[in-house]
Homo-oligomer: A and B are copies of this chain.
Amino acid sequence: MSGRPAPATRASRGEELAARFDEVRSATCRLAEPLSAEDCAAQSMPEASPIGWQLAHTTWFFETFLLAQAIPGHRPFHPQYGFLFNSYYNAIGERVARPLRGRMTRPGLEEILEYRRHVDAQVRALLERADEAFLLRHGPVLELGWNHEQQHQELMLTDLKHLFSLNPLEPAYRAGPHPGAATAPAARFLRREGGLHSIGHAGTGFAFDHEAPRHRVYTHPFEIASRPVTNGEFLRFVEEGGYESPDPWLSDGWDWVVAERIRAPAYWKREDGAWRIFTLRGTRELDLDEPVAHVSYYEADAYARWVGARLPREDEWELAASEVPVDGNFVESGALHPRPVAVAAGGELAAPAGLFGDVWEWTQSPYVAYPGFSASPGALGEYNGKFMSNRMVLRGGSCVSPRSHLRASYRNFFAPGARWQFSGFRLARDV
């Protein structure tokens, strides 16, 4: 009868949120630590954003959707930051055109870090005195905020990799040798039965709006590869003329190959007869056992067709992923690069391996709303639903994703020609 765990729970819930908040926010800053002010200001292409902009934008999110809602008479840190650091949230106000972000040299890195500290302190102060009503009302946006920030943690690394790759000095983001090599096991096709299944987010934890609702889907029997395609396998495609004939390509894909003069995955280059690869630790020899990364959907699809297979659909992928834990090579490993799938004692893989981490896996599913989907109301609803055209779904996370950010139902999406993410793929087949 005694008990009364509620206050304790509330306190611990507030503390827990504060701890989680701190963890994510400080992780972001740690990622930026090796970088100079110049590194943080540059924008290498319209699709990328300056690191500094991302440091501020993730902060603006908490200021706008938490502080401004929860603190009566809240005064923004700077009257124009709402304009400068808004991204797609069109409902909130005009924003700086994306391709111009790299020209905003003010505020500088120091002011942006000051902005972070200022907002962080205000959020923490709120959480210290948060009661149940507060947590009920504002907890979800806090959680959305750090999940949003985790997405930017990954983007910061991929945007930076792209930026550094353009520099003739080939700078390394992190020093030190790559983790030791390993041998990828032979790939097998694993058969899975069809039938009525459910996919989408099920549990009680956080998920983005587009992972819901969990819903039934009829899946046909299929086979899925035991591991992603490797550099060595993809190299055959490169060297046997894969990029030289339109045959295996989608029509849009071939136009892209011709227009962009694509000849290999991004960051590969042939020097003195050897293939080398630019990584976040600088340039080194191509490791044939690693999963291939930085390929576009077009390349993944063309390779699959070339070997007589196809890419998995997202329901197939999710079914396979529901068999295994969310385990793999994430940003926490420090590798910052895909690693060969570990060989079990017996050699061949019986269960699909490498589904989480290493490389995002392109599926052949265009990014669309699940049946019954409804976007979150207001500005937050612009988060995902706005992009439901001309994008393909990728699944599983990469070597630069935070582990806690991922789950089997997680849906990532990019345009089919994008390849600055750690995007790879595995094969599937009809049976």
Partner of A372, one of B38, B166, B196, B220: B220
**Is A135 part of the binding interface, using a Cβ–Cβ cutoff of 8 Å?**
no
Q: Whole-angstrom distance from the CB of A368 to the nearest CB of chain B?
A: 6
Q: Is the CB of B250 within 8 A of A80?
A: no
Partner of A105, one of B106, B167, B249, B250: B167
Known A41-B41, A163-B105, A368-B364: A217·B215 in contact at CB below 8 Å? no
**Is A107 part of the binding interface, using a Cβ–Cβ cutoff of 8 Å?**
yes
The count of identical subunits is 4
Q: Is the CB of A218 within 8 A of B247?
A: no
Q: Is the CB of B250 within 8 A of A386?
A: yes
Partner of A106, one of B36, B390, B392: B36
**Is A307 part of the binding interface, using a Cβ–Cβ cutoff of 8 Å?**
no
Binary interface encoding of chain A residues 301-314 relative to chain B, with 1 for a CB under 8 A from any of its CBs, else 0: 10000000010010
Q: Whole-angstrom distance from the CB of A381 to the nearest CB of chain B?
A: 10
Q: How many residues of A contact B (CB 8 A)?
A: 69
Which of chain B's residues have a CB closer than 8 A to the CB of A84?
A: 168-169
**Is A340 part of the binding interface, using a Cβ–Cβ cutoff of 8 Å?**
no
| Stretch from A12-20, A96-104, A279-287 that touches the partner | A96-104
Q: Whole-angstrom distance from the CB of A390 to the nearest CB of chain B?
A: 5
Which of chain B's residues have a CB closer than 8 A to the CB of A249?
A: 386
**Is A91 part of the binding interface, using a Cβ–Cβ cutoff of 8 Å?**
yes
| Stretch from A251-259, A324-332, A348-356, A419-427 that touches the partner | A251-259
Q: Whole-angstrom distance from the CB of A331 to the nearest CB of chain B?
A: 22
Q: Is the CB of A90 within 8 A of B387?
A: no
A371 to B316 Cα, complex, angstroms: 11
A39 to B40 Cα, complex, angstroms: 12
Q: Tell me the nearest residue of chain B to A169, going by C-beta.
A: B106
Which of chain B's residues have a CB closer than 8 A to the CB of A167?
A: 103-106
**Is A83 part of the binding interface, using a Cβ–Cβ cutoff of 8 Å?**
yes
A250 to B369 Cα, complex, angstroms: 12
**Apart from the given pairs A38-B38, A84-B168, A106-B164, 15 other A-B contacts in the complex at a CB distance below 8 Å:** A36-B106, A37-B41, A38-B41, A38-B105, A38-B108, A38-B109, A39-B105, A41-B105, A42-B102, A84-B169, A90-B245, A105-B163, A105-B167, A310-B369, A364-B368
Q: Which 10 residue pairs of A and B lie closest in terms of their CB atoms, listed nearest first?
A: A366-B366, A38-B41, A37-B37, A90-B246, A38-B105, A220-B371, A251-B386, A218-B218, A39-B105, A36-B108
